[in-house]
Amino acid sequence: MALLQISEPGMSTAPHQHRLAVGIDLGTTNSLVATVRSGDVETLPDNSGQHLLPSIVHYSKEGDVLVGVEAQQFQKTDPNNTLSSVKRLMGRGTEDVSRLSGQLPFEFSDTESAVPKVKIDAGEVTAIEASAEILKALKSRAIASLGDELTGAVITVPAYFDEAQRQATRDAAKLADIKVFRLLNEPTAAAVAYGLDQNVEGVIAVYDLGGGTFDISVLRLSKGVFEVLSTGGDSALGGDDFDHVIAEWLLEQSGNTKSTDAVLLKTALIESRRIKEALTDQESVEVEFAGWFSQFSRDEFESLVGGLIKKTLLATRRALRDAEVEKSDITDVVMVGGSTRMPIVRQKVGEFFETEPMVDLDPDRVVAIGAAIQADILAGNKPDGDMLLLDVIPLSLGLEMMGGLVEKVITRNTTIPITRAQEFTTYKDGQTAMSIHVLQGERETVEANRSLGKFTLRGIPPMTAGVARIKVTFQVDADGLLNVSAEEESTGTKSTIEIKPSYGLTDSEIEGMIRDSMDNAREDMLARSLREQQVEADHVMEALDSAIKKDGEALLTTDERQILLEARADLYSSRVGADADTIKASMKRMEKAAEFYVERRMNSSIKDAMTGHSVDEFSK
């Protein structure tokens, strides 16, 4: 008689077939790793029982690398070789460094590289390499806790991370030798955790205020389908900024405002974090800094940080508007991130939504829990528990058209993964190649948007302008990474590009682009109309030039030719310095002037076609 292995629903029938998959919350201040074990989700501790891993990396002069608590102790004694908050540099370019330099106590190398490099005694290091060390530590913790090799991981990222920032996260995982099942938006991961635990259906807001980033997402949850309706936030706003506000107050009160002592500045930040955390449970706290003593109350703290909280609520209001929902439509508000422990944050969010926010799950762990649940599914451990996660892209994707216009192929807040194709054609007779310029943004003209990449489709058969059919396909995967391909349909000639920009947009830049598109909507509409009329005018003039060159001598008298050329000159003059309506009127005048010529050309073509044939042949 055969023996059957009995297992829990959704679990592998053989224990050794259960694949070790983890969810990783790669945070700015702290990171976690979680997994599903025996049907339960749990975050994994280190040897001392600590679940949170401080996102800090220390590089010793001897070349040793320490991560987490071991690295944290060097923040005061060796700050130049101890890196924290490196997530803020992920996917950023060297040009972004100057804007962030006041918030990050790093010294950057002068380099031609597009990726900023931090100076340390042992050389140089990038944010990707530092993040890889954090991921290695989490991977080692998972293997030590579970005693098996890691099959893969779901790593969370802020919802507003663009392609470059997501790619940088993938690169860090690759350096850590971790297979990434997918990147998952942090708010979506939180929704997974709450959706499974409490079976929520409806529209919810996920307010995620972590150590270095703020995200707000509006999601619709229904029968296991998680759809992000809109996202917003700021990748340079989080608990660190609250610490900086208190640190500035400490430096000012103690008379050290102009100090450049790295150890003193780092000490101010560490003391500020202690004060902030103490005021979560206390009404006041004793402060000792640089020989200065005082009492600091919760009311004073809330007064200092009120502006930062207001910024998060402004972003929240924009996200609701983008999702086309009212505050009254929100059924629940989920609080995520350690910074949401602050009573003033919970109070202001509750007042904004006019409902008590949900804080049932540990806000530090909820993201890792959701990622672990998704990782378990993607590893194949729960074939019957598949869950559909639908995220969105934050900005529209499109192509450059004639006249410097942008044709949007995928509009912002479109659900991903998505594949969308559009047909284009050639502009000139005999054109054998086409340049494909991929853009990101909400404006109508190329110069007002961000260039993502260019490539060229060659091998187009020489045809009359407008005859060729070029199919351009945009494919955005579940991680928000973009591939663009172009194919000439008659020959199958194809070219493709994978968009991997060397630096990313900040959330404030993304918000600015969206805001600019709204503020300049009328100007953009007028500019687009003008460019379209200019392109059409060019077509009309080129068609006239080609026609005159081909049969002008045979069909036109000298005076008739002069009339047409004067009409063309009038159109050219209008095209250069006029508005769209003037150009349109000038084209109509030219078309009116050329009516007799068009008629003669048509009659001539019919005559040529019928030469040598009888009328009876065409009537058959």
Q: Label residues 148-171 b or e (16+ Cβ within 10 Å = b).
A: eebbbbbbbbbbbbbbbbbbbbbb
In whole angstroms, give the CA distance from residue 547 to residue 540: 11
In whole angstroms, give the CA distance from residue 132 to residue 208: 24
Local structure of 244: helix, strand or coil: helix
In whole angstroms, give the CA distance from residue 93 to residue 99: 11
In whole angstroms, give the CA distance from residue 316 to residue 1: 63
In 3-state terms the chain splits into helix, strand, coil percentages (rounded to 5) of 45, 25, 30
Torsion of CA 522, 523, 524, 529, to 10 degrees: 90
Query: And the tokens for 146?
Result: 């579970």
Local structure of 415: helix, strand or coil: strand
β-sheet bridge partners, residue 389: 226
Local structure of 406: helix, strand or coil: strand
Task: Provide the annotated active-site residues.
Answer: 25, 87, 186, 208
In whole angstroms, give the CA distance from residue 529 to residue 517: 16
In whole angstroms, give the CA distance from residue 138 to residue 274: 25
Q: What is the DSSP letter of 101?
A: T
The answer to whether 169 touches 297, Cβ cutoff 8 Å, is no
The answer to whether 191 touches 221, Cβ cutoff 8 Å, is yes
β-sheet bridge partners, residue 390: 227
